[in-house]
Structure 1
């Protein structure tokens, strides 16, 4: 998988007390629905067993636009805890960064456009459109969740703040 999940999710308070626990994110799921006709795609990367494991590659069609949603969960709890709502509630302090890297010799491209905004009209990234180019091949879609409190979030600074999650999904673009 190359990139390990770095799950040190955000704290609830800016000034946590001694008993505050840090949230745990053990799984990231990407769900894509084509805007025209075609088949949905979904994949999950989990670290519940320690090493990141992707349940299936994201298989996409070339020349297709998808509506995409990313969700976060803590599979160590019973029932499984949805961590996405907390990120959405603290959207002014979070930014998801997406980077697609094709394998050597691959003609695949995936462009990501963030469609959800925070209260300051800055991008969040829980909702996006992903568009594949005409070429086919394999690659990795890296998804990084940045926690950017206290004015660190500018919408364009993708390195500021703490990294809560860092995963890379295997992607296949094929007819």
Structure 2
């Protein structure tokens, strides 16, 4: 009888072990990475020599990106650029730039200029600010236009790269907090 009872005892102990291991609370969420709410992006450019300042804002508060004016630049000119971001859904409007700067080791702004068909315009962006690990941030940069004229779009993407995703060279890793394209005119 003792030998007959052993297999049942073994199954009972295994069932108890599986029940206790299955009851472990694996659903305990870790700390949430709160994504920024950004509804407006402004780029302000100041020429390093002669010329007019340029500024444009894109608002996405209505759900559709709306640019207040084209970004009008002169050919063959270098500009100091500053990007600011805000949450217009708050009253008063919340400046999100300081939060991005405080979390600069988790953020990266990526710039891409695409000329319109038939346009000879070129716009190059060189990021000048960095995080505490000397990796690019992108709230401050140097924008240089080539000698050609025409129209195009300057795409600005803010990547949120927490938890070691930010390498400074990987522009696709992480969540996208902002993705807007400014209408640009390069002309005399």
The answer to whether the aligner puts 1:136 opposite 2:149 as a matched pair is yes
- TM-score normalised by L of structure 2: 0.82
Query: CA 1:158–1:23 in structure 2 vs 1: closer, same or farther (change >3 Å)?
Result: closer
- TM-score normalised by L of structure 1: 0.88
Q: Which runs of 5+ in 1 are unaligned?
A: 1-13
More relative contact order in 1 or in 2 (CA 8 Å, sep 6+)?
Answer: 1
Give 1:15's match in structure 2, choosing from 10, 15, 31. Answer: 31
Deviation at 1:23, TM superposition (A): 3.4
Q: Which runs of 5+ in 2 are unaligned?
A: 1-29
Runs of 4+ that moved beyond 6 A: none
Mapped to 1, the partners of 2:105 and 2:117 lie a distance apart of: 37
More deviation, 75-84/131-140: 75-84
Mapped to 2, the partners of 1:150 and 1:45 lie a distance apart of: 29
- Residue deviations 1:155-174 (CA, integer Å, cap 9, x gap): 11000011110000000000
Determine the structure 2 residue equivalent to 1:108: 121
Residue pairs, 1:1-175, within 5 angstroms: 15-16=31-32, 22-175=35-188
Mapped to 2, the partners of 1:49 and 1:104 lie a distance apart of: 29
